[in-house]
Amino acid sequence: MAQITHTYILCILFSLLILIVHSKQLDQKKPCKRFVVYYHDILFNGTDAANATSAVAVNQTNLGKFNHGMMVVFDDPLTKDNHLLSRPVARAQGFFFYDKKDALNAWFAFTMVFNSTKHKDQKKPCKRFVVYYHDILFNGTDAANATSAVAVNQTNLGKFNHGMMVVFDDPLTKDNHLLSRPVARAQGFFFYDKKDALNTWFAFTMVFNSTKHKGTINIMGADIFAEKIREFSIVGGTGDFWMTRGIVSVTPDTQQGNYYFRFKMDVKMYECY
Ligand SMILES: *[C@@H]1O[C@H](CO)[C@@H](O)[C@H](O)[C@H]1NC(C)=O
Ligand SMILES: *[C@@H]1O[C@H](CO)[C@@H](O)[C@H](O)[C@H]1NC(C)=O
Ligand SMILES: *[C@@H]1O[C@H](CO)[C@@H](O)[C@H](O)[C@H]1NC(C)=O
Ligand SMILES: *[C@@H]1O[C@H](CO)[C@@H](O)[C@H](O)[C@H]1NC(C)=O
Ligand SMILES: *[C@@H]1O[C@H](CO)[C@@H](O)[C@H](O)[C@H]1NC(C)=O
Ligand SMILES: *[C@@H]1O[C@H](CO)[C@@H](O)[C@H](O)[C@H]1NC(C)=O
Ligand SMILES: *[C@@H]1O[C@H](CO)[C@@H](O)[C@H](O)[C@H]1NC(C)=O
Ligand SMILES: *[C@@H]1O[C@H](CO)[C@@H](O)[C@H](O)[C@H]1NC(C)=O
């Protein structure tokens, strides 16, 4: 932590400057929707929990002197102008980590979460099915039964597991019985990202390997606990789901303490080939 001893703000302007530069080179078409927001990140320094919006969840490696490997989990405000204290129009929930040994450089994955307008009617999916996702968190002794485990402990930012990351290889079943024969597996991770409420962020792949379906569906998104139905993006696919995109509507189905939970996943593809 020696390199980062003070709080700092990153103000990143998603100004599409990069896009503009590229558009000259690649002659891209005009955006069908466009806006500017400012992203504010205040890194937790150990005492400013009320103010901080992110915290180090994984420390740096010893590769170089530029925080290589350090991972920061955030739930950051997005504002219309560049004032930190302006009313946020949305939140950015996700993580970044430093990835270079010889310079500062970071890699981001996050979701912009808007909660001000109703979304439009969607067109009909071209493929659709329901699966149930079962997650049994390893408790230290039930390795035969468990399907996931805590890979990164929580930070000290708040009391809602902020920064805790769980890696899973979970069964997906056609009905809601844990012991039904899995039709696929969900392989990936989630982590808690809020300091003042339970909330997680998921990235995983549905892996199908049966006589019926072979292929993968890649999924990511904010698991917004305040919503009854959460929506993840299908960002791509392979095999029987080649190049697909769509939405997974996720409904919490049951929860047993910290050790088992089940989601109903309504998988809706809007691009099929
Ligand atoms: C953390 O930040 C707060 C507010 O900026 C400051 O008052 C405090 O001294 C800092 N604490 C440490 C340990 O740097
Ligand atoms: C919150 O953090 C920002 C950025 O470090 C700082 O400018 C501001 O003074 C802090 N506010 C409080 C109340 O600590
Ligand atoms: C990172 O290292 C510091 C000491 O170097 C330690 O206090 C802190 O708990 C570590 N954080 C994580 C997330 O491992
Ligand atoms: C872990 O779970 C198993 C099976 O549910 C239970 O028998 C065992 O007591 C639990 N162990 C701990 C340490 O909680
Ligand atoms: C998390 O913390 C517990 C003690 O609080 C420790 O036993 C465990 O090894 C830690 N796990 C990781 C992944 O750091
Ligand atoms: C997929 O199924 C085939 C045939 O049952 C098997 O040989 C192969 O190991 C399976 N692959 C995975 C990743 O489970
Ligand atoms: C979104 O706004 C609605 C209505 O104001 C509220 O009930 C709901 O809790 C909000 N969801 C989130 C995730 O903040
Ligand atoms: C496996 O975990 C589930 C969910 O916690 C529990 O209902 C079941 O009893 C466990 N089975 C065994 C054999 O421990």
Rounded CA separation 251/242 (Å): 26
Rounded CA separation 209/123 (Å): 29
pTM of the model: 0.89
Tell which one of 1, 5, 47, 164 to mutate to probe ligand 3, the residue whose CB is within 8 A of the most ligand atoms.
Answer: 1
> How far is the centre of ligand 5, averaged over its atoms, from the C-alpha of 154 (Å)?
9
Q: Is the CB of 47 under 6 A from ligand 2?
A: no
Would you say 37 and 80 are in contact if contact means Cβ atoms under 8 Å apart? Answer: yes
pLDDT at position 25: 54
Which residue's CA is the nearest one to ligand 7's atom 8? 226
pLDDT at position 123: 87
Cα distance between the two ends of the chain? 49
Residues having CB closer than 6 A to ligand 1 are 7, 45-48
pLDDT at position 116: 76
In one-letter notation, the amino acid at residue 126 is C
Rounded CA separation 136/134 (Å): 7
Average pLDDT of adjacent 10-residue blocks, the chain of 273 residues: 37 36 61 96 97 98 98 98 96 98 98 81 89 98 98 98 98 97 98 98 97 96 96 98 97 94 98 94
> Which atom from ligand 8 is nearest to the alpha carbon of 257?
5
> How far is the centre of ligand 2, averaged over its atoms, from the C-alpha of 254 (Å)?
40
pLDDT at position 20: 39
Residues having CB closer than 6 A to ligand 4 are 139-142
Six-digit token pair at 168? Answer: 């899973």
> How far is the centre of ligand 2, averaged over its atoms, from the C-alpha of 123 (Å)?
45
pLDDT at position 120: 65
> Which atom from ligand 3 is nearest to the alpha carbon of 155?
13
Q: Which domains does the chain have, with CATH numbers?
A: 9-113 (no CATH), 127-271 (2.40.480.10)
Closest CA to 11 of 46, 36, 44: 36
